[in-house]
């Protein structure tokens, strides 16, 4: 029976890692998949995480099943990180949440929940958005439309056009927003723009679906939660998919959280049973390990302070790599001003070059990044920035 299924092309993001691995060029540069790398190109285990692993090894005394919602300490700690201590929705007992296998798992089960609520609703995603949003939401059987977001020519957000489009979104539809560090563009909404989105949601009656995969990598852990906290505090319903892949460096452990802010505590109870039944029908319950580590870190003052300092160190380093690249491009005589890269936030930058130029830099110079021109800023280092800028100037 399998012969009916064709060979599929490589994943537009994950496929880059395979192509990079197979490239024999010793000077190759990997700016593809969004993982943090240090100056040596390594993705280290955070020191706070390593300590939490040692604690877990000594204290975990059973491998029996965990509860269907996941590690409760993890959920509580993450809700505080996302919403802030004493957020009104928490005090009013309106928040349902389950641990999920990664941010992807959260996006997928939340999409299934939306489908249960209204199989006809449309999810509006930014143009562009993270490539995997489309299958994660679309495979749940939901319709997807795009709203204008980023203008390549000016390398900035088309906010007026975004607003004009959102004014047409109907009650009950869902608008996917990136909580911070927009993937792929690195262009984030300002606090004033979040306020406008809130007013639109109140007026139109659409439900925000916020993907928070990079909290702490933009302006800081608290600042990056601005949008999520504002919308949750002022709307009856908001959904959030959060990930610990990047800010805890727990990529392979698949640690995510699905959050549903509901209108009343009674609805919260029903929705908690619904999301758990969706998870039960797909993977039963989440793996506990990564969540248990985050629980340990977030509930130990010393480890939490250490983790926060590590997140800040990654954030500041990525910011300095932006400057390094922009300065190097100017030094190499690039005929375009790349200063916009300094203003973008988080792990990614959209270089605003054509797919043909991206292909050319890959084949001629073994520099790997996504066709859209998204680069992983964390893949830049003092060692490769010269070669990278030379290659970019060559294909421009
Ligand atoms: C990325 O955008 O590169 C990461 O989120 C990894 C992935 O799964 O695509």
Lookup: tokens for 371 = 């066709």
Q: What's the sign of the alpha-carbon dihedral 342, 343, 346, 348?
A: negative
Q: How confident is the model at residue 253 (pLDDT cuts 50, 70, 90)?
A: very high
Active-site residues: which are they?
130, 211, 246
Mean pLDDT of 208-232: 98
Mean pLDDT of 140-149: 98
Q: How confident is the model at residue 259 (pLDDT cuts 50, 70, 90)?
A: very high
Which protein residue's CA is at the shortest distance from atom 1 of ligand 1? 34
Q: How far is the CA of 202 from the centre of ligand 1 (A)?
A: 31
Q: Which atom of ligand 1 is nearest to the CA of 132?
A: 9
The per-residue pLDDT for 3 is 97
> CB within 6 Å of ligand 1 — which residues?
13, 33-34, 130, 132, 183
Q: How far is the CA of 13 from the centre of ligand 1 (A)?
A: 7
Lookup: tokens for 248 = 């805890």
Mean pLDDT of 99-115: 98
> What's this model's pTM, rounded to 2 decimal places?
0.97
Domains of the chain: 2-45+316-395 (3.90.1150.10), 65-299 (3.40.640.10)
Average pLDDT, the chain: 97
Question: What are the DSSP calls for 102-152, one per residue?
Answer: HHHHHHHHHHHHHHHH-TT-EEEEEES--TTHHHHHHTTT-EEEEEE-EET
């Amino acid at each position: 029976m399998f012969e009916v299924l064709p060979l599929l092309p490589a994943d537009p993001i994950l496929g880059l890692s395979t192509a990079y691995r197979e490239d024999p060029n010793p000077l190759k540069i990997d700016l593809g998949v969004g993982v943090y790398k240090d100056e040596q190109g390594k993705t280290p285990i955070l020191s706070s995480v390593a300590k939490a692993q040692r604690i877990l090894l000594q204290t975990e005394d059973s491998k029996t099943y965990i509860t269907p919602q996941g590690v409760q300490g993890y959920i509580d700690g993450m809700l505080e990180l996302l919403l802030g201590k004493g957020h009104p929705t928490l005090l009013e007992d309106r928040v349902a949440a389950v641990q999920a296998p990664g941010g992807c798992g959260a996006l997928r089960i939340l999409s299934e929940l939306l489908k249960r609520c209204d199989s006809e609703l449309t999810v509006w995603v930014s143009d562009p958005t993270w490539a995997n949003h489309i299958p994660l939401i679309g495979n749940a059987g939901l319709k997807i439309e795009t709203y204008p977001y980023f203008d390549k020519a000016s390398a900035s957000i088309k906010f007026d056009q975004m607003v004009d489009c959102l004014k047409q979104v109907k009650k009950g539809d869902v608008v996917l927003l990136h909580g911070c560090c927009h993937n792929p563009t690195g262009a984030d909404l300002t606090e004033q723009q979040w306020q406008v989105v809130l007013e639109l949601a109140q007026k139109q009656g659409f439900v925000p679906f916020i993907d928070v995969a990079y909290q702490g990598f933009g302006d800081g852990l608290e600042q990056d939660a601005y949008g999520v906290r504002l919308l949750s505090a002022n709307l009856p319903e908001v959904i959030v998919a959060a990930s610990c892949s990047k800010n805890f460096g727990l990529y392979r452990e698949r640690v995510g959280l699905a959050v549903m802010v509901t209108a009343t505590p009674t609805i919260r109870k029903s929705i908690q049973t619904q999301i758990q039944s969706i998870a039960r029908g797909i993977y039963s319950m989440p793996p506990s390990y990564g969540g248990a580590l985050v629980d340990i870190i977030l509930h130990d003052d010393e480890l939490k302070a250490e983790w926060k300092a590590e997140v800040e160190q990654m954030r500041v380093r990525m910011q300095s790599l932006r400057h390094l690249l922009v300065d190097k491009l100017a030094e190499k005589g690039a005929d375009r001003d790349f200063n916009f890269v300094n203003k973008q936030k988080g792990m990614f930058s959209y270089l605003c070059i054509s797919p043909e130029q991206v292909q050319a830099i890959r084949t001629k110079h073994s520099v790997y990044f996504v066709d859209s021109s998204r680069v992983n800023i964390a893949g830049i280092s003092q060692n490769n920035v010269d070669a990278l800028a030379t290659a970019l100037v060559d294909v421009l």
